[in-house]
Amino acid sequence: MRFSTLKKMKIRLAAAFLIVGGVFSQPIRPQESRQIEIDPSRPREVVATLDGQDITAEEFQQLIIAMDPKAKEAARNSAPEMLRYVGWLRRMGAEAEKRGLPAQSLLKLQLEMTRIQLLSNALIQQHEMEEVVTPFEQRGYYQANLASYSAVNVKLIYLPFTNETEELQAKRRMEEIHKKLQGGAPFVAMVKEYSKHAESREKDGDYGEIRMADEIPQIVKDVAFGLKDGAYCPPFRLPNGYYIFQRTGVKVDAYEKVKDPIFTEIKQKRNLEWVEKHRKEVVVTMKPKPMLEGQPVSPAEIEAYLGAMDEKLRSNLRDNPVEMLRGIGFMRRMTKIAVEQKLDQTPPFRQQLELTRLQALSNALMQAEEKLMQVSDSEVKKAYAENLKYVSLARVKIVYVADDEALAKEIRAKIQSGADFAEMVKQYSKDPVSKAKNGDYGPLKITDDFPAAAKKVIWELNVGDVSAPVQLPNGYYLFKLMGLDEPGVEKVREELTKRLRAAKSRDWMNSMRAQVQVKMAERK
């Protein structure tokens, strides 16, 4: 067995399995499965009340549009739960404001980043929507870029190579074939005699269509589109071999077929140019000290801005502070224009601003609340006693038999009939590491990083029990639980305290959620 290999799979055990009861489990609130039927002709119709406030059909739709994809999916399954979530966010946001959390420096920056990112995107979307493209411009773009809307048909001759000697031979042979073509040899005849591309050879060399948008080497597109109908090219090299193309025709997409994509492409291209123009206007200097639009930026502020970004963006910009500051300056410029155009008051952007701000405040409040949760010594000891089996270290022996399930069953039957487990290890186990230790593996903690199926079996065993064959990704195993070593409450106090705080925080959060009043309106 290669448990070390299995650990690298990073198969995590769900928190719900860690402990069946006590501090590690939380009750799941059953969803009220109900959807709202929206009548487009009645946008002002009240479809629900949220904490006593009427929610119209139009407002409900705007909330859904403003939500992230996961929340949208939940809304489709249960409108009451979606509204309860919004109500909970609003209550959490109000509590965070009451505690003064938005004034904290890091959260303040996070809220600013969230706001300027959202309003920048809103303005860019709005600008693209408002960009006017005339039919005359569409037609002109089509004529100027005909190659992008064309498909060239080619025949080919192909000679592969896998090493330098074969490459030299293929090159010489291709030069001979090219001379024969120049001498009047039919292309199809050369295909039949020399080409090693079986699929096209069976079709007289026909390869099919090549388009400029195809994800193939650029040289292939350049050669195909550079030929005239009936013409063939000199041999050219690709990493897998030499080729000769003959162009056999071209098909140009009708304008009516591509005018809509052209409309979108022109809009997007102009929008990108507009964005880049504004981005380049942002003034950033780093010497003698960092400055953004004439205002000094301290190293601490740069770190704070990076900390307020998502992980991917942070990793991309950490080594490029100029671009990071330029991006912030650009978003601030876009935000100023967006506010002037009152996009922050326009649906669905207004709802997106509200929800993203409330989500950030809710997260900050939950973190702050968890830190405030008090956990007594008696609570820790009680949790330790209730979850002793799961905080203990398991000592196990294993037999690994690769993919032979029948052998695994046979070994278990022998053990049940009285055979010694260690002897079975010596005779049958194919894991040299544990075999050298009479099958010993461990000790293991339930939080260790190894397959969930193995954890489930081991922690359901009583001391001395042998499991049925367990199938893991690399084969079958038998596990024997030799003992559970109690760590002592002090060794796990920190972990238990952390989990108790998290559990109390969730209880508090759920109590806030339970206070939200949602009432669905009856359809008339």
8 A C-beta contact, residue 120 and residue 335: yes
The residues spanned by each domain of the chain are 3-7+393-485, 105-129+274-344, 144-255
Distance between CA atoms of residues 27 and 25, nearest Å: 7
Where does residue 60 fall: left (phi above 0), alpha (psi -120 to 50 degrees), or beta otherwise? alpha
Identify the CA nearest to 201 among candidates 157, 167, 255, 143: 157
pLDDT value for 440:
93
Distance between CA atoms of residues 333 and 110, nearest Å: 18
What backbone torsions phi and psi does residue 132 show, to the nearest 5 degrees?
-95, 130
Sign of CA dihedral 205, 210, 214, 217: positive
350: which residues sit within 8 A by CB, 6+ positions away? 344
Q: What is the pTM of this model?
A: 0.67
pLDDT value for 75:
63
* SS3 category, 410: helix
**Residue found under tokens 């409450």:** 489
Domain 3-7+393-485 has CATH 3.30.360.10: no
pLDDT value for 36:
65
Q: Which CATH class is domain 144-255?
A: alpha beta
Per the DSSP assignment, residues forming a β-bridge with 56 are 46
Sign of CA dihedral 425, 429, 433, 436: positive
8 A C-beta contact, residue 222 and residue 173: no
Print pLDDT tens along the chain (524 aa).
333 333 332 222 222 222 223 333 333 344 444 566 677 788 899 989 999 999 998 998 888 888 877 777 766 678 888 899 999 999 999 999 999 999 988 888 889 888 998 999 999 999 999 999 999 999 999 999 999 999 999 999 999 999 999 999 999 999 999 999 999 999 999 999 999 999 999 999 999 999 999 999 999 999 999 999 999 999 999 999 999 999 999 999 999 999 999 999 999 999 999 999 999 999 999 988 899 999 998 887 788 778 777 787 788 788 888 888 998 999 999 999 999 999 999 988 999 999 999 999 999 999 999 988 999 999 999 998 988 878 888 999 999 998 899 999 999 999 999 999 999 999 999 999 999 999 998 788 888 888 888 888 998 899 999 999 999 988 999 999 999 889 899 988 998 999 899 999 999 999 999 999 999 887 66
Identify the CA nearest to 10 among candidates 452, 312, 403: 452
334: which residues sit within 8 A by CB, 6+ positions away? 116, 119, 120, 123, 124, 278
Distance between CA atoms of residues 394 and 441, nearest Å: 9
User: How would you label 84-114 residue by residue, b for 16+ Cβ within 10 Å and e otherwise?
Assistant: bbbbbbbbbbebbeeeebbeeeebebbbbbb
**Residue found under tokens 């000891």:** 381
Q: Do domains 3-7+393-485 and 144-255 have the same CATH topology?
A: yes
Tokens encoding 199: 């699929």
